[in-house]
């Protein structure tokens, strides 16, 4: 059976946007993964994948990507061929039997308070300053920051309305420094009160919505200028927010709510950071520990 996978992928992308309630960032990642899969199938004449071809594709993935990327690409392949099987009557999903790889447990990377303060203080551009202040103040995902509208920021009460995964909305507190940075930025756009303004909160240089890819470049660029000796991304700032909140005594449930985690076990990764710090303090301070 010969199938036009490129045309099917175009229709599948539309179905993702209309029916799955996924974020634009997630859809872009899925489509990019599937474009790579279609290119792989093209190298073999666009067949319906059998077990041998599926194993060959899995081998290619594991030789090029880390486990989390492999699992995301396999998830995209399962979803795509589930769609192909349903629409084109393939029968079984060729990727339906493929299990995700077990993820190696790794602790999130984060910045110290001095590092994140040095980074933010280095930022001179009003828009970029507002972006970094908001990311650190709230811990929101970069895709969530991309989707914000001006009216989502409540300047008076100090909250931001965030639309997360699955279009779930949550109210997240915002610190006064971030509020002032956002206010300063909006004034450069002539917006004194964002309450009724439905424009995107962050605009690109050409006036359109600032996309998450450019946001990542902005964070990385300012981190280089601030001479931060670590790789810094919006997700590292998200981890930094969670770690600093935990260190300051915030409870896990509150952090879970602010981060928009569906499961508390996801948030509990940050307790390992906290325990490591406690052990370091213990080893330095306890008389019996010092004897060793």
CATH of residue 9's domain is: 1.10.150.130
CA-to-CA dists, residue 191 to 61, 125, 174, 198, 201, angstroms:
47, 17, 19, 11, 11
Residue 211 lies in a domain: yes
Q: Are residues 276 and 151 in the same domain?
A: yes
Residue of 109, 165, 189, 269 with catalytic role: 165
Q: Are residues 215 and 83 in the same domain?
A: no
Both structure tokens of 87 = 């629409």
Phi, psi for 161 (deg, rounded to 5) = -90, 115
pLDDT at 162: 93
Residue 94 lies in a domain: no
pLDDT at 215: 97
Q: Are residues 124 and 229 in the same domain?
A: yes
Q: Are residues 253 and 117 in the same domain?
A: yes
Query: Quick check: is 88 catalytic?
Result: no
Query: Quick check: is 141 catalytic?
Result: yes
Query: Range of 160's domain?
Result: 113-282
Q: Are residues 234 and 134 in the same domain?
A: yes
Q: Are residues 125 and 227 in the same domain?
A: yes
Residue 68 lies in a domain: yes
Measured CA to CA, the distance from residue 226 to residue 190 in angstroms comes to: 29
Residue of 141, 185, 239, 244 with catalytic role: 141
Query: Quick check: is 185 catalytic?
Result: no
Measured CA to CA, the distance from residue 36 to residue 264 in angstroms comes to: 34
Cβ atoms < 10 Å from Cβ of 5: 21
Query: Quick check: is 270 catalytic?
Result: yes
Q: What does the pLDDT profile of the chain (292 residues) look like in tens digits?
A: 568 889 999 999 888 888 766 777 788 888 999 999 999 999 988 888 999 999 999 999 999 988 888 999 999 999 999 999 988 887 789 999 888 887 666 666 889 999 999 999 999 999 999 999 999 999 999 999 999 999 999 999 999 999 988 788 999 999 999 999 999 999 999 999 898 999 999 999 999 999 999 999 999 999 999 999 889 999 999 999 988 888 888 888 888 888 888 777 777 777 666 666 656 666 766 565 555 4
Tally the domains of the chain: 2
Residue 67 lies in a domain: yes
Query: Quick check: is 235 catalytic?
Result: yes
Residue of 73, 238, 239, 244 with catalytic role: 238
**Strand ranges across the sheet with 159-163:** 153-154, 159-163, 169-173
Query: Quick check: is 286 catalytic?
Result: no
Residue of 20, 170, 209, 235 with catalytic role: 235
């Amino acid at each position: 059976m010969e199938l036009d996978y490129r045309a099917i992928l175009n229709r599948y992308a539309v179905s993702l946007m209309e029916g799955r309630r996924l974020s634009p960032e997630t859809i872009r990642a899925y489509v990019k993964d599937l474009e790579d899969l279609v290119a792989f199938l093209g190298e073999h004449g666009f067949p319906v994948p059998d077990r041998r071809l599926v194993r060959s594709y899995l081998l290619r993935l594991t030789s090029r990507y880390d486990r989390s990327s492999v699992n995301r690409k396999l998830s995209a392949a399962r979803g795509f061929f589930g769609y192909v099987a349903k629409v084109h009557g393939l029968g079984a999903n060729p990727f339906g039997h493929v299990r995700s790889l077990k993820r190696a447990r790794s602790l999130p990377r984060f910045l110290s308070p001095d590092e994140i303060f040095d980074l933010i203080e280095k930022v001179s551009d009003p828009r970029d300053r507002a972006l970094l202040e908001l990311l650190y103040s709230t811990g929101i995902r970069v895709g969530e920051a991309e989707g914000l509208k001006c009216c989502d920021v409540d300047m008076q009460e100090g909250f931001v309305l965030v639309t997360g995964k699955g279009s779930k909305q949550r109210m997240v507190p915002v610190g006064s420094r971030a509020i002032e940075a956002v206010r300063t930025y909006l004034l450069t756009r002539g917006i004194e009160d964002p309450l009724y303004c439905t424009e995107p909160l962050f605009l690109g240089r050409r006036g359109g919505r600032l996309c998450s890819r450019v946001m990542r470049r902005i964070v990385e660029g300012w981190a280089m200028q601030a001479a931060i000796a670590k790789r810094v991304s919006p997700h590292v700032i998200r981890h930094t927010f969670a770690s600093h909140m935990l260190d300051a005594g915030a409870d896990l449930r509150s952090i879970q709510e602010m981060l928009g985690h569906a499961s508390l076990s996801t948030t509990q990764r940050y307790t390992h950071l906290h325990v490591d710090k406690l052990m370091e303090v213990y080893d330095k301070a306890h008389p019996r520990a010092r004897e060793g």
